[in-house]
Amino acid sequence: MISVFEELKSLIDYIQSAYSEVTKEWLCRNSPRINLKRLLVADIDVNGAIYKSISDYVQLLNERSADISLQLSSVCSYQVTTRVKAQNSIEFKIQNYKTAGHEFGKIPINKCINDLFGFRIFLETPLTFDEIHAFVKEVYQDKYRCIDSSKLNYKGVHLYFKEDNQSYPWELQIWNKCDAESNFESHKKYKQGYTTWEKESKEGGFIDG
């Protein structure tokens, strides 16, 4: 019987392989490149090169996501879902990072735009953050940033894939299946927030310059 850690490793290795492949294609087709660590969220303007880069990358993800998702059932026996981040959600997140709570956008872009492509695994055998973090540290050393993103009713561990400072990160959300109901409820409240923001914007959610 395959252990939960073996399932997790198989998924992480597959995501890394897909991520490296898409990143290579992205870097080959795009010039000039944008340093996502040096530039700040405050530098993003809806009519600027950074926003266009984000939109172009999302387009590439939409082209590749179906093929990547189709292979997941052969990689991991646990339920795994994927999504490409929607444009209105991207705009809301950028706008939120330009507020006082996030230093008015004085934060590197790769700390905000870090989940344009996301995976979510539902663990049948519950694991704590400490157990997941220790496993990732032992197997992958410092290759991945692994954080406890639990807050209020949301419980989850997030793992980030990043090639370099010119590559948009991907995110893996690790959920215990027993937390799924409360997590979905938490996500629903968040989505209500950006839906309201979008309706209130005269331009349908465009980012402030």
Sheet with 157-161: strands ordered across = 79-84, 117-123, 170-176, 157-161, 145-148
- List, in sequence order, every residue forming a beta bridge with 158; answer none if it has no partner: 147, 173
**pLDDT single digits (tens) 113-166:** 999 999 999 999 999 999 999 999 999 999 999 999 999 899 999 999 999 999
Answer whether 16's CB lies under 8 Å from 80's CB.
Answer: no
pLDDT band at 206 (very low <50, low <70, confident <90, very high): very low
Report the distance separating Cα 16 and Cα 19, nearest Å.
5
Share of the chain above pLDDT 90, in %: 78
- For the cut 50, the answer to whether the pLDDT of residue 203 exceeds it is no
Q: How confident is the model at residue 193 (pLDDT cuts 50, 70, 90)?
A: low
Res. 22: pLDDT tops 90: yes
User: What is the pLDDT averaged over residues 100-115?
Assistant: 94
Residue 39 near residue 50, CB atoms below 8 Å: yes
**What phi and psi, each to the nearest 5 degrees, are found at residue 82?**
-135, 160
195: pLDDT confidence band, cut at 50, 70 and 90? low
Per-residue confidence band for 32, with pLDDT thresholds at 50, 70 and 90: confident
pLDDT reported for residue 30 = 75
Q: How many helices (H) and strands (E) does the chain have?
A: 7, 5
Q: Summarize the confidence of residues 63-73 as an average pLDDT.
A: 96
CA pair distance 110, 104, nearest whole angstrom: 15
Distance CA 68, CA 74 (A): 11
Give the model's confidence band at 191: pLDDT under 50 very low, under 70 low, under 90 confident, else very high. Answer: low
Which DSSP helix (H) or strand (E) runs through 158? Answer: strand 157-161
The yes-or-no verdict on residue 192 having pLDDT over 70 is no
> Which has more pLDDT, 185 or 10?
10
pLDDT band at 199, cuts 50/70/90? low
In angstroms, the CA 168 to CA 154 distance is 25
List the structure tokens of 122.
Answer: 């539902």
| Model confidence at 207: pLDDT above 70 | no
Inform me whether the pLDDT recorded for 189 exceeds 90: no
* Confidence bin at 33 (pLDDT 50/70/90): confident
CB within 8 Å of 19: residues ≥ 6 apart: 161, 163, 170
| Contacting residues for 24 by C-beta, under 8 A, at least 6 apart | none
Pairwise CA distance, residues 165 & 33, whole Å: 10
Report which of residues 101 and 31 the model is more confident about: 101
Nearest partner of 123 among 71, 187, 78, judged by Cα: 78
Mean pLDDT of the chain: 89
